[in-house]
């Protein structure tokens, strides 16, 4: 098949996959802009995509494009080096008209792939992959702004992103016009135009990426994604969706953050309330419900930056299924001792009272005699 056996076919596949990847990078840049202009809308987009079938198909297609692009890039590089043999070492100076990025596309590609792996670990692995695995993590998978906070709170993240964006600029700048050259637009009239368009397109996209990274870093340092009231309400709604089987589907419409916090604090202080809930709904597992509330409690502590919810009791219930003893309940249930009757005073007769007062009267008489 000429697409795989001939050099022209392989370059055509490289060009086709390159076009798709350029479009994806552009879309990703626009989506990041939403995170700056309207963070809540960015979370809505993350929730809309999530692990839905269309998002999974798009992710698998994108991954396939990356794999094909990388494999064919390696194959073309190896074949070109074999064809040149030792001749490539005989050239000391740079060939006229050959760009630096053209000679270092493989190195630039490796840097871009390394940057991509870091980016996937920071975002995709904590968002879509978590939903696919069905895991319930402390941070909701749809809370994209919190993962921005997590990533750009690290000192090294902006440095890695700047290096990755610079490498991406060189890679895209050369790849943009060369992919058109590979499909036949190789003439003195169109190549200069395509180089100009590619340089402008790539520069605008990369400058936007750099500006976004700077804004994300500043917002993360200021705690914007943790303290913003609107985002907190959105986070509370995301967390409440994990409690629909406990409180009904009405919580999907939204639960105020302060209400969710107070409810979680109350449940953490009195875990036996979960026993009442599970008694009314036998299908619920008290361990599972306790684990979910403990996760919400940790999330609230994460947003508040301090220990507002003590999740120790909930974690014990999630582990053992037994409720811890409540000191207040013990005091209420402890058997109370009957009050001891006070000893009654003995009745004193008039004769006894006169006898008791006699010494005092006698002492007073003697004192009066002495004075006389």
Query: Is residue 52 within 8 Å of 132, Cβ to Cβ?
Result: no
Tell which residue, 207, 282, 295, has the closest CA to residue 245: 282
Q: How confident is the prediction for the chain on average, in pLDDT?
A: 80
pLDDT digits (tens, 9 = 90+) for 308-330: 999 999 999 888 888 876 544 44
Q: How far apart (Å, rounded) are the C-alpha atoms in residues 303 and 324?
A: 27
**Range with the lowest mean pLDDT among 50-59, 88-97, 189-198?**
88-97
Residue found by looking up tokens 């006389």 in the block: 372
pLDDT digits (tens, 9 = 90+) for 129-165: 988 887 778 899 999 999 999 999 999 999 999 999 9
Query: Which pTM was predicted?
Result: 0.78
Identify the helix (H) or strand (E) that includes residue 165. Answer: helix 156-182
Residues 6+ apart with CB under 8 A from 177: 191, 194, 195, 197, 198
State the virtual CA torsion across 129, 133, 138, 140 in degrees, nearest 10: 60
- CA-based end-to-end distance of the chain: 149
| DSSP secondary structure code for residue 155 in this structure | S
Residues 6+ apart with CB under 8 A from 3: 9, 10, 12, 13
Q: How far apart (Å, rounded) are the C-alpha atoms in residues 168 and 170?
A: 6
Pull the structure tokens for residue 229: 């009231």
Q: How far apart (Å, rounded) are the C-alpha atoms in residues 68 and 231?
A: 39
Q: How far apart (Å, rounded) are the C-alpha atoms in residues 331 and 335?
A: 9
Overall average pLDDT of the 185-201 stretch: 79
Q: How far apart (Å, rounded) are the C-alpha atoms in residues 233 and 239?
A: 10
Architecture of domain 2-82+103-131+143-222: Up-down Bundle (1.20)
Residue 335: its pLDDT value, please? Answer: 47
Domain boundaries, the chain: 2-82+103-131+143-222, 230-324
Q: DSSP secondary structure string, 62-81?
A: HHHHHHHHHHHHHHHHHHHH
Residue 176: its pLDDT value, please? Answer: 76
Residue 126: its pLDDT value, please? Answer: 92
Counting other chains too, the contacts that 325-332 makes at CB distance below 8 Å and 24 or more residues apart are 326/270, 326/272, 329/272
């Amino acid at each position: 098949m000429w697409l795989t056996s001939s050099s022209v076919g392989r370059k055509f596949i490289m060009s086709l996959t390159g076009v798709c990847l350029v479009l994806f990078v552009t879309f990703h840049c626009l989506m990041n802009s939403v995170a700056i202009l309207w963070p809540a809308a960015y979370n809505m987009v993350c929730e809309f995509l999530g692990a839905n079938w269309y998002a999974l198909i798009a992710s698998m297609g994108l991954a396939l494009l990356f794999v094909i692009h990388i494999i064919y890039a390696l194959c073309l590089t190896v074949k070109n080096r074999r064809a040149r043999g030792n001749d490539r070492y005989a050239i000391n100076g740079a060939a006229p008209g050959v760009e630096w990025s053209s000679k270092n596309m493989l190195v630039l590609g490796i840097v871009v792939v390394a940057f991509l792996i870091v980016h996937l670990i920071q975002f995709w692995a904590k968002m879509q992959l978590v939903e696919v695995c069905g895991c319930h993590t402390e941070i909701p998978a749809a809370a994209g702004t919190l993962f921005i906070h997590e990533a750009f709170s690290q000192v090294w993240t902006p440095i890695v992103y700047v290096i990755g964006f610079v490498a991406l600029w060189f890679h895209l700048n050369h790849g943009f016009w060369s992919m058109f050259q590979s499909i036949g637009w190789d003439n003195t009239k169109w190549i200069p135009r395509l180089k100009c368009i590619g340089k402008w397109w790539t520069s605008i996209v990369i400058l936007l990426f750099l500006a976004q990274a700077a804004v994300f870093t500043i917002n993360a340092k200021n705690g914007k994604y943790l303290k913003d009231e609107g985002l907190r309400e959105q986070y509370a709604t995301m967390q409440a969706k994990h409690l629909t089987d406990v409180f009904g589907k009405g919580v999907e419409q939204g639960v105020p953050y302060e209400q969710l916090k107070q409810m979680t604090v109350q449940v953490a202080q009195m875990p036996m309330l979960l026993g009442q809930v599970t008694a009314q709904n036998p299908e619920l597992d008290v361990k599972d419900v306790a684990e979910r509330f403990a996760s919400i409690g940790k999330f609230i502590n994460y947003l508040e930056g301090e220990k507002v919810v003590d999740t120790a009791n909930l974690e014990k219930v999630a582990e053992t299924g037994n409720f811890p003893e409540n000191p207040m309940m013990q005091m209420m249930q402890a058997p109370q001792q009957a009050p001891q009757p006070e000893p009654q005073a003995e009745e004193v007769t008039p004769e006894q009272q006169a006898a008791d007062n006699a010494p005092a009267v006698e002492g007073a008489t003697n004192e009066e005699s002495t004075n006389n």
